[in-house]
Structure 1
């Protein structure tokens, strides 16, 4: 009984693999016929407004620079916000929820872009 199951599974896997190879073989031909469309799809601008903190404990500042006072700290992956504006390498964000250190939802402040990561929309179809 086990040998039959393994044999049938092997046939199914081989069939799927052969279909994938056939599809992959057709893909370059399809791209070659529409070269103007491929770069446009890849060059789409990321419009996601949410930014997540990637640094361990990052200063949330009152202005775009280290000379401005720290309002509090934001923590890696626990804290995120919506981009309000930017200035050079600094992003002004509005907190999406109460921060791990107790800053209220909706508080705005500045974080160096090197400690933030913008979310990316994914097309799943």
Structure 2
């Protein structure tokens, strides 16, 4: 459910600085919102882009260290998640990697070496 903001942070700070009292309503007492600037509940991150956060990572043919490495991808290389197996993510590279793997190459990387992008809501 979405709720409207009843005051901005600067308004609240000014009210407190001038000795005013602030009453906060619980979410159950808040008014449902219709505007795009309303607060929203937290949802799962569905962003498809994953970025390498380690200095260098083997880009493997399967979700295991026993599978051969197709090459190395480096911090900043990125791709779209196309599959998952346990703690491994299968990526399709979004551009030619710094290690020379062509755009569109697919390979497996441990989840611990990747960071999923976060959508930003800019008002």
**Structure 2 length normalisation: TM-score?**
0.74
Write 1 or 2 for the structure with the bigger share of helix: 1
- For residues 3-42 of structure 1, the aligned pairs below 5 Å read 19-21=11-13, 28-29=24-25, 31=27, 33-34=29-30, 41-42=40-41
Provide runs of 4+ in structure 1 moved above 3 Å: 22-28, 34-37
**Structure 2 unmatched ranges of 5 or more:** 1-8, 34-38
- Which residue of structure 2 lines up, in the alignment, with residue 46 of structure 1? 45
- Which residue of structure 1 lines up, in the alignment, with residue 36 of structure 2? none
Measure the CA separation in 1 of the matches of 2:106 and 2:55. 19
Moved more, 48-57 or 25-34: 25-34
**Structure 1 unmatched ranges of 5 or more:** 1-16
Which one has a bigger Cα radius of gyration?
A: 1
- Which residue of structure 2 lines up, in the alignment, with residue 12 of structure 1? none
Residue-pair matches, total: 106
Measure the CA separation in 1 of the matches of 2:28 and 2:22. 10
- Which residue of structure 2 lines up, in the alignment, with residue 8 of structure 1? none
Q: Deviations over 1:55-74 (max 9, x none)?
A: 11100000001010000111
- Which residue of structure 2 lines up, in the alignment, with residue 87 of structure 1? 85
**Structure 1 length normalisation: TM-score?**
0.72
CA RMSD in angstroms comes to 3.0
